[in-house]
Chain A
């Protein structure tokens, strides 16, 4: 048992922080619903940050740490699937990597665009294809989710089958979900802490009122434990741990998002404040893999059957 970062891990997170510094705040006057950056994506690829899983001395915990850190940025970047799922399928799969549950084509797909790899996971196994323009229907322009999303209109006739168990890919997916949610939760909490510490009503900062303090403290407890469960799921590679981590992450998201916008009052309804960039990503993550109930059932199977 060793829960502190290794030297390699600290160093890589320092590199990530340095590289992402220009992307750590929202550009002035950018009030778009979603925020993404091809430049950031390119730099992450170039620096090899999405491939740390493949490095023997780094592995899945370091990959999860990188995903967590990147998710704190206001810019959405397709890191979780690439860093934590792709290597279990085929490290050479072109990015972005879009994860789709078999039989659930009605759901919006994160990062879907022409040329993206779509990985379809379900009863038929693990299959992939490259998305072409005619398979993609853009989402409504002012969709609320702060990721770039689009819809798949159809699957191609032929998909590439991968020789890997669907259960193993679901495990990696749950881990990816938890690691990403962990960073989103941390960033959302920090932004609300900052706002409520500065905003004054009745002559004192909002954060001095116990009605908010206790709820924010509970949110910290959830956020902290989502982080640790995600890292543990990465470290043990266990099905049950991954399901518990994803479950706890979706539970936490459900619990905090409404509160956070509430605490910001009117500002929580605007695009001027970046809170929605993290909370509406979290909301979409709560819809992944069948939601909390499905994660809980998967965990129950792994733990008690």
Chain B
């Protein structure tokens, strides 16, 4: 076991930091408070990602045959960390390079690859993920948005919710039901968001402007060529996608950075001398670092070419614990931060709220740990 970064990895991290230093505006910290899915940040990301692509830093972890540099999972992790800690200047495009691109490469038709991969690699496209529905959240397989094959086209009707980036996305990676079989009846479509019949409504939220939406599909008609994979193949494809995105966002690095920032503010104000605040701060640091090492253990499995199982749920839950602790620390000891005194801490707080809900709730992670890590007998259904 080794716990230091190699020289190459350190140099790679520095390259990214240099790039960020040169390409983020001076008022970036105020700016990033808009949230990754806000119109302002989305517009910024469209320019930023083009530059990132030109510098070879948009998808260096992709294999060479896909145009990447063939760098490994550690470099992908470092890239994700540096972007997220900076407030995610890629906006929603992080999804493109983490899982949408690799999934397109693996399951897409030639036409789909030709149409969608090039804009992703140029840093020009924004996707949204049409998964959750009002009655299908944690129980995703109960989704009801239906696609019916009629006269050579599919006609889609239904509703999605919590859809990040939907307001400004070009394309939706959409899960629909094509038959009643719970999991094998689900089919993916790649649907341009300007297709007639799609209505997007923003949901006012705690987590920032423009982040979550309802999306309505009323007789949305798409050609057969918009189907991604075979009918009923969605569950298999999502499982593959999630293997590329099992860990998700490296939230623990932002939590730790926010904690350090809060401590710096407290020190400056002369309020970091008491034992109560120091003990709480250290508890938060322990949870952040605990989440970090648990996440790295999962990255190591990817490096070793091993299949990643439920240990990623354990790392995810550790991350939720860290996020929660830091959010609570800031509110308890630096309450002014959320009222305008520290945009970076407010940005962290708003993103931290999401940690236990998005991409599989914390409770679902606990279910997975119970069944697959601890191998407890299953609950009766």
The residues of A with any CB-CB pair to B shorter than 8 Å are 1-6, 9, 61, 189, 193, 196-197, 204-205, 207-210, 213-214, 216-218, 220-222, 224-226, 228-229, 231-232, 235-236, 241, 243-244, 247-248, 251, 292-293, 295-297, 299-300, 303-304
Contact = CB atoms under 8 A, between A and B. Distances in A.
B114 interface: no
A299 B285 contact: yes
Nearest to A59: B1
B4 A214 contact: no
Contacts of A241: 289
Contacts of A220: 314, 369, 373-374
Given A243-B282, A296-B279, A229 B2 contact: no
A208 B377 CA distance: 6
Given A4-B1, A208-B377, A244-B282, 16 more contacts: A1-B4, A2-B300, A193-B375, A197-B377, A208-B380, A214-B367, A217-B374, A218-B366, A228-B294, A236-B4, A244-B286, A295-B282, A296-B278, A296-B283, A300-B278, A304-B272
Contacts of A217: 317, 365-367, 369-370, 373-374
Contact of A235 (B3, B280, B363, B380): B3
A4 B375 CA distance: 23
Return the 6 tightest CB-CB contacts between A and B, nearest first.
A225-B290, A228-B293, A296-B282, A235-B3, A217-B369, A300-B278
B279 A225 contact: no
Given A214-B370, A221-B317, A207 B376 contact: yes
A292 B275 CA distance: 12
B296 A297 contact: no
A299 B300 CA distance: 27
B3 A1 contact: yes
B321 interface: yes
18 contacts: A1-B6, A1-B74, A1-B300, A6-B1, A197-B377, A209-B379, A213-B376, A214-B363, A214-B367, A217-B365, A217-B373, A221-B318, A224-B297, A235-B3, A241-B289, A299-B285, A303-B282, A304-B267
B4 A193 contact: no
A254 B290 CA distance: 16
B249 interface: no
Contact of B289 (A210, A218, A229, A304): A229
Interface in B315-360: 317-318, 321
A268 B27 CA distance: 59
Contacts of B283: 247, 251, 296
A224 B369 CA distance: 11
Given A3-B296, A232-B3, A216 B370 contact: yes
Contacts, number: 158
B377 A205 contact: yes
Interface of B: 1-6, 9, 74, 260, 263, 267, 272, 275, 278-283, 285-287, 289-291, 293-294, 296-297, 299-300, 304, 311, 314, 317-318, 321, 363, 365-367, 369-370, 373-380
B286 A247 contact: yes
Contact of A213 (B3, B6, B321, B379): B379
A53 to B, nearest CB: 14
B282 to A, nearest CB: 4
Nearest to B374: A193
B279 A297 contact: yes
Contacts of A248: 286-287, 290
B304 A225 contact: no
B376 A1 contact: no
A1 B283 CA distance: 24
Contacts of B377: 197, 204-205, 207-208
Contact of B279 (A204, A221, A232, A293): A293
Contacts of B376: 193, 196-197, 205, 207-208, 213, 216
Given A1-B74, A213-B370, A217-B374, A300 B3 contact: no
B7 to A, nearest CB: 12
A42 B187 CA distance: 63
Which of B260, B267, B321, B377 gathers the greatest number of chain A CB atoms within 10 Å? B377
A197 B371 CA distance: 11
A3 B378 contact: no
A244 B1 contact: no
Contacts of B379: 208-210, 213
Which of B278, B282, B296, B366 gathers the greatest number of chain A CB atoms within 10 Å? B282
Contacts of A293: 275, 279
A248 B283 CA distance: 8
A231 B286 CA distance: 14
Contact of B300 (A3, A61, A225): A3
B316 to A, nearest CB: 9
A247 B374 contact: no
A232 B6 CA distance: 16
A4 B290 contact: no
A304 B378 contact: no
B77 to A, nearest CB: 9
Nearest to A209: B379
B320 to A, nearest CB: 9
A172 B150 CA distance: 71
A225 B289 CA distance: 9
Which of B272, B290, B293, B376 gathers the greatest number of chain A CB atoms within 10 Å? B290
Contacts of B285: 244, 299, 303
B286 A214 contact: no
Nearest to A219: B374
Nearest to A233: B3
Nearest to A238: B3
Contacts of B272: 304
